[in-house]
Chain A
Amino acid sequence: MKKAIALALAVLATSIVAASAQGSSKVANASTAVSCKGTFDLPFLTPLTGGAGFLGTEQASWAKYAVKTLPSQYGLKVKLLLGDTPAEAGPAPALALAQKYIADPRVVAVLGPSTSGDAGATAKPFFAAGIAEVSPSATHTDLTYGTPGDPLTGTPAFFRDVARDDQQGSTDAAFMIGKLHVKKVVSMDFQEPYSVGLSKEVDDALQKHGVTVIHFSAPNTTTDYSAYVTKVPSDTDIVFFPTQKPGDAQTMAQQLIEQGKKAKVFGGDGSNDPSQFKVPGSYLSNFAAPISLFPYNKSIIAGWQKDNPGKQVGSFGPPTFGAVQIILQGIKATCADDHGVIKARHDVIRHIKKVKIKNFILGGNFAFSTKTNDPLNRGFYIFQIQSNGTYKLVQSPGA
């Protein structure tokens, strides 16, 4: 009897919790009006831990700096909420965080997600809730640009301020063909959206030009690549290695040398970390050039370095600053249009699409393409690792 009562109480308690969760998500839906005088919550979904934690940590430092310095310029008050989405855990943490942020009525836009896998998984829930997303690093092509073989997985609410994988893939392949004159390439993917998409773009582009491509697929949890290196033919020119873990790019490059293979590693933007990936002669591409190339960024760089003593400006952080600026400008425009009140979250999506920024942190002026939610006129830069471990720019977009 006692057991039956206890079971019934447990079922009742579970039902109450489920119902209230259901209820709270109905409260904060797309059409709830939000006053622009209050503090907006700005969630940022990024991998703060795990193999890609270096990326999230760097981006988080720039997000904090942006939220510290930019809102006052737009007459807004913003609180940054960091949500950890380790790459190894798949999209589950991002989906759970998405539900939490959707239920928060002070969230009208989201920074990130940083990774393509999380962006793809959370695009529809955020769109259904009318919440705009601006990602500083999710580059998978079909998030904004679908093709017959690769349909669109993103939504009209998903934006990014960096170039796409197909642009990266074609840039990387063109460099390998035109500058490195490759005949044989081994390309790898790690069974997650970023590397699968990017390696496919590169494979297709190389094969069209008659380059022999051998493709390997490794689980995302792989740390020892000896077995794959054993299978790399000795006449391979390049191993295209679009990992999101620079330490793994270093391991692959080391193990190629260990086994006496002549092939060099060519990483994607996910391997961009001079402190971890530093085998001389290796290559990598990235969606941003050093922001110090643009004089108007001097005060931003100085301010960030003051808040982050001893740290160097990387390439993942500045697009995050830019993404925050885009979001704030979009919120500001919505507030102005709606007379101090955001009547519905999806109004912010419309205004973010129209954002134009002069002297954008990544160089030049910023606007979104009229055809997709990609930035207009962005491209990829290619670097080669020097003998002292520094990255030398060897090709700029359009070169």
Chain B
Amino acid sequence: MDTFIQLTIDALTLGSVYALIALGYTLVYGVLKLLNFAHGDVFMVGSFIGFGVFNALGGGSTPKVPVWLLLTLVTLAAMVGCAGLGVVIERFAYRPLRDAPRIAPLISALGVSFFLANSMQLLFGAQPRNYNVFNLDNGALYLKGFDIGQVRVPLLRIITITSAFVLMLVLWFLVNRTRTGKAMRATSFDREAAAMMGIDIDRVIVFTFVLGSALAGAAGVMFALRVPTTVSIGFVSGLKGFTAAVIGGIGSVPGAMAGGLILGFAESYTEGYVSTKWSDLVVFCLLIAFMIFRPQGLLGRADIRKV
């Protein structure tokens, strides 16, 4: 039973990060019908921005501000930095190709992905960066928390899972309860009609990239708080985020959240009950199974074509 509880906590932690990454994919696809393969590398850049700000504020050993403020500022900095990066990527790599055949922005996205990964490697090297939050407040993030049976749920996990869910709620509110969100949904439904109704499409698209990239930045920090980050984390994490978006239904915001959690559970339980060597195999087999049997994903809409 303890193993099951521990694996469930691992699943929620991992799934929350995947959900945040998946949301970026799904938002951009919903509005632009573009698979933004650079999104995983935006996530990676977020983890590095967070690392820089974390150390600028004193790091794990001698923080200059209280722990809660330190983590908040680090996350906000990563979100703002990645949002800015998202705007730049959209402006220079995707906007000129908006009316080109769909393969063109896809290739451009791949190019941006390689550009980001290699630029970061040139600038910062391939050394892993460890936030070392272990030393914060005498190990409070690891030693404090609550127990479920014999299993401790440490503060760090609580913060990660809660923050991810809060961000998802904020996103849901933005998309469903604000004018800008309405404009995003209209654009995703029919871009031309939305333009004819007076919606500034360019602004909507930029806002979408801001939102998606900011979430990726937050996910980068949450990931790197627990494990060392390197320039190579973007590729695999991005791939898993994309898988989560597809499983949930690419273009569907609740679908991306569900897909991320499903992926987290699949990976965690496979590692715990089958073998750690099988987890990636299971995850990508899930992707293939969904593509064959339910290509629209769990909560996505099947395309209706008029004949």
Check if B125 sits within 8 Å of A258, measured CB to CB: no
Check if B10 sits within 8 Å of A254, measured CB to CB: no
Check if A258 sits within 8 Å of B152, measured CB to CB: yes
Residue of B nearest to A250 (CB): B130
Check if A247 sits within 8 Å of B233, measured CB to CB: no
Check if B126 sits within 8 Å of A224, measured CB to CB: no
Q: A231-B272, A258-B152 are in contact. Are A279 and B134 (CB under 8 A)?
A: yes
Check if B127 sits within 8 Å of A227, measured CB to CB: no
**In the bound complex, how far is the Cα of B131 from the Cα of A276, in angstroms?**
10
Partner of B272, one of A86, A222, A230: A230
B273 CB to nearest chain A CB (Å): 10
The range of chain B's interface size is 35 or more
Check if B272 sits within 8 Å of A251, measured CB to CB: no
Check if A230 sits within 8 Å of B10, measured CB to CB: yes
Interface string of B203-235 (1 = CB under 8 A from A): 000000000000000000000001110101100
In A68-110, the 8 Å CB interface with B consists of: 86, 88
Interface string of B147-168 (1 = CB under 8 A from A): 0001110101100000000000
The range of chain A's interface size is 20 to 34
**In the bound complex, how far is the Cα of B275 from the Cα of A217, in angstroms?**
10
Residues of chain B within 8 A (CB-CB) of A54 are 127
Residues of chain A within 8 A (CB-CB) of B233 are 223
Check if B139 sits within 8 Å of A257, measured CB to CB: yes
Interface: A260 (CB within 8 A)? yes
**In the bound complex, how far is the Cα of B226 from the Cα of A223, in angstroms?**
9
Which of B121, B128, B154 has the most C-beta atoms of chain A within 10 angstroms of its own C-beta? B128
Extra inter-chain contacts (14) besides given A217-B277, A227-B10, A276-B130, CB under 8 Å: A53-B126, A86-B126, A216-B276, A224-B227, A231-B3, A245-B228, A250-B134, A250-B228, A251-B227, A257-B134, A258-B154, A259-B152, A260-B151, A260-B152
* 18 A/B residue pairs, CB under 8 Å, sorted by A: A50-B127, A53-B127, A88-B232, A223-B233, A224-B14, A226-B10, A226-B13, A227-B271, A227-B276, A230-B3, A230-B10, A231-B272, A250-B228, A257-B134, A257-B139, A257-B142, A276-B130, A279-B134
| B interface residue numbers (CB < 8 A to A) | 3, 6-7, 10, 13-14, 121, 125-128, 130, 132, 134, 139, 142-143, 150-152, 154, 156-157, 226-228, 230, 232-233, 268, 271-272, 276-277, 279
List the 6 closest A-B pairs by CB distance, nearest first: A227-B271, A49-B126, A247-B228, A247-B128, A260-B152, A223-B227
